[in-house]
Structure formats: structure tokens, C-alpha cells
Amino acid sequence: MALIVDIQKKIGAFNLSVRFESENEILALLGASGSGKSMTLKCIAGLMTPDSGRIILNKRTLFDSGAKVNLPPQKRNVGYLFQQYALFPNMTVFENILAGVRIGTAAEKRDAAAEKIAQFRLDGLEKLKPASLSGGQQQRVALARILVNAPELVLLDEPFSALDSYLKWQLEMELADTLSGYSGDVIYVSHNRNEVYRLCDSVSVLSNGKSDPKETIDGLFHSPATVAAAMISGCKNISRLERKDAYTALCTDWGVTLRTQAPIADDANFVGIRAHHLTFSPNENMMNCTVSRVVNNMFSTAVMLKTPGGAILRAEMEAAVWAAAKDKKNVTVYVDPKDVMVLKS
């Protein structure tokens, strides 16, 4: 199965321009609030109409501005799981799932709903209403209602955004189990990089309505291509760069020159260093800094360092490593050339 999305949409001053393809995978759309993630899902589902572009699912055109094709939501065969699950509060579990069945006789529809009751381990809950269910049970009902029609594509819009961390972990594991038995494509919207890392196969980062090219999860966390991708994947330290040669960057904000393992392209204009990659282990990339602030956590320490250029670097290390430092006012930190990320804006 394959999905092709190449659309543009303008609402007020906000311009959405996203382009990606997905095939037999869970693809994450990762970005900060307001970056256009949910708008993209609504365009795919048919709840919002793009201004231009096309959406193709398994060689079937859902939307094409040039050909004037715009299928209504009920004809797209796309399942959409909203943030709050959107269960009907006055219907029972069985009635909620039954409401999702679109084709068949009355008896066939009831059989299909009963099959999903068993598949999603909802036996014994058929007559309960959503308010009487746990978060995990509500999620399973919502997924059962979506999957009862065997959609070609499932859209998940921040399904854990309103949950506390303990419940979120439980539901995440249940969702992973459910999706493992689904043969279609999944588009997973989130602003949480940890969820994306655990649940998804690939990712496209959205920033201010624009999508970065799709990349693997490993690529995002180990070698992001853009500043937006580096920041959303957790990079705390970004500096503008001036290219000195193919492997030497003057980090203008930090006032230091660093060697890189990755070649510096002519259009690269930033470097990034993850906080945990700053160490006291000597190598060719040395930075003499003064300590601006120390934040102690239970098992780790964050040290805010003022660089020769006057900017602040954040270093994160085990608490014992910082405790062993002899000078806690003036420190020299190092970063391996392989950990200096070369980025484009």
C-alpha cells in the first residue's frame, strides 16, 4: 500500500506546504504545536480541502486540484483517530463500534461489530458507555470503530496528548500491539519525539507549515539534516557556522572552530551538538567555557556553559561525573567530530 501527499493550503497568514510518501510503514509527522500536523491529517481525511496539490492512496486519487477531484470523507476509506477518541457518550461500546460499520445488512453489521469486540478484548464491556471505561478501553473502542471497515490508511492525531505519563505508557504499548496486526499505512502525528522513536518507522518534520524530506527514525536522531529536525529531536545547542573547509566550521555564536566528520555542504549554515555529547574526554574539538549555572537532577546534571563567543551551551552528564570535576567555574569540554551535526536552515 502507498500514500502520496503533495498539498498546499493557506489559512490567513499560515501557509501549509507538505510533501511526503509512505508505503507499508508507520510514518510520523513530528513538529511543534501550530506547525500544521493536524491540518495535514484533515486534508488527507477530507475534512479540509487543500488549495492545490494531490493526495493519492494506493493509486486511487483522493484529491487532485488540477483534475478537480475531491472525494468526500466517506469515500476515502481512511480511518481517523482523534485526540479525544470522539466516542458517542450516549452509546454503548457495542453501539459505538456498530455505528462505524458502513456496508452490509443489519445482521452483517452486527457480526462485524461483534468480531471487533472479541479482537480488541472488549468482551463483557459491550453494554457500558464511554464514561465507564478506562483510557485504554476507550482507545480500543475507538480503534475498533475505525478498523471495522478495514481502512486502507489510519490517521492518528496525538492520541496520548491529554494523558498522564503512567497511563500514556500503558496505552502506547497497547497501541503498538494493535498496529502490529494492521496491514495498511499509518500516519502518526505527534510533538513528542520519544513516542515517535518508539512507535514509528520513518518521520517527516514539520516546521511553520513546511515539511522536511522523509527520513528514517535513526537518521533523525543521529544525523538530522535541518535545524528544525535537530531541535525537535532534542538538540539543545545550535550555532550559525562559517565554512572554512570541507570539514572545518567556525561556529560564530560560540566563538570556536570545530572539526566535523560529515562534510560541510556549501549550503549548510548551522551546526548542532546534543547536550550529552559534550564531555570531559579530550579530543581535537576543545572549548574553554565558564560555568553559568548548574541544574541538578536526581541522576544527572545539566551544566550551562558560557562560550568564548558569549552564547550558552548546555551540557548534560551523569551527576557523578560533574561531582568529580575539580574546577566548577572554568571548564574545558570536548565534542567528537562525529557528534558535530551539520545543518541547513
User: What pLDDT sits at residue 28?
Assistant: 96
What are the pLDDT digits (tens) for 15-37? 999 999 999 899 999 999 899 99
User: What pLDDT sits at residue 127?
Assistant: 92
How many structural domains compose the chain? 2
Q: What is the DSSP string of 123-136?
A: TT-TT--GGGS-HH
User: What pLDDT sits at residue 229?
Assistant: 94
pLDDT tier for residue 323 given thresholds of 50, 70 and 90: very high
User: What pLDDT sits at residue 146?
Assistant: 87
User: What pLDDT sits at residue 166?
Assistant: 66
User: Do 217 and 244 belong to one domain?
Assistant: no
Q: Mean pLDDT across the stretch 308-319? A: 96
Residue whose C-alpha cell reads 452509546 in the numeric block: 91
Query: Other C-beta atoms within 10 Å of 252: how many?
Result: 15
Residue 260 half-sphere exposure, CB side, CA atoms within 13 Å? 27
User: What pLDDT sits at residue 165?
Assistant: 65
What are the pLDDT digits (tens) for 153-174? 999 998 876 566 666 777 778 7
Q: Which of 170, 205, 231 is the last residue of a domain?
A: 231
User: Do 308 and 337 belong to one domain?
Assistant: yes
Strand, helix or coil for residue 240 = strand
pLDDT tier for residue 8 given thresholds of 50, 70 and 90: very high
User: What pLDDT sits at residue 162?
Assistant: 56
User: What pLDDT sits at residue 140?
Assistant: 84
User: Do 46 and 91 belong to one domain?
Assistant: yes
What are the pLDDT digits (tens) for 194-246? 889 999 999 999 999 999 999 999 999 989 999 999 999 999 999 999 999 99
Q: Mean pLDDT across the stretch 253-264? A: 96
Residue 85 predicted with pLDDT over 80:
no
User: Do 53 and 191 belong to one domain?
Assistant: yes
Residue whose C-alpha cell reads 501557509 in the numeric block: 15
Interatomic CA distance for residues 15 and 161, integer angstroms: 24
Edge-to-edge, what's the strand order for the sheet holding 248-251?
256-259, 248-251, 237-245, 270-273, 341-343
Which has more pLDDT, 165 or 328? 328
User: What pLDDT sits at residue 136?
Assistant: 79
User: What pLDDT sits at residue 159?
Assistant: 80
Helix, strand, coil share of the chain (percent; to 5)? 30, 35, 40
Read off the CATH number of the domain in which 101 is found.
3.40.50.300
Range with the lowest mean pLDDT among 54-63, 172-181, 190-199, 294-303? 172-181
User: Do 240 and 217 belong to one domain?
Assistant: no
Domain span at residue 120 reads 2-231
For residues 131-159, one letter each, b for 16 or more C-beta atoms within 10 angstroms of the residue's C-beta and e for the rest, the string is eebebbbbbbbbbbbbbbbebbbbbbbbb
User: What pLDDT sits at residue 149?
Assistant: 85
User: Do 242 and 214 belong to one domain?
Assistant: no
Q: Which of 231, 265, 284 is the last residue of a domain?
A: 231
User: Do 226 and 277 belong to one domain?
Assistant: no
User: Do 79 and 128 belong to one domain?
Assistant: yes
Q: Which of 189, 212, 231 is the last residue of a domain?
A: 231
Cβ pair 237, 271 in contact under 8 A: no
Bridge partners of residue 15, in order along the sequence: 10
Read off the CATH number of the domain in which 311 is found.
2.40.50.100
User: Do 273 and 139 belong to one domain?
Assistant: no
User: What pLDDT sits at residue 53?
Assistant: 97
- Interstrand relation of 330-334 and 215-216 (parallel, antiparallel or unpaired): unpaired
User: Do 211 and 252 belong to one domain?
Assistant: no
What are the pLDDT digits (tens) for 125-155? 999 999 998 877 888 888 889 888 889 999 9
User: Do 22 and 129 belong to one domain?
Assistant: yes
User: Do 198 and 291 belong to one domain?
Assistant: no
Edge-to-edge, what's the strand order for the sheet holding 300-306?
312-318, 300-306, 286-296, 330-334
User: What pLDDT sits at residue 16?
Assistant: 97
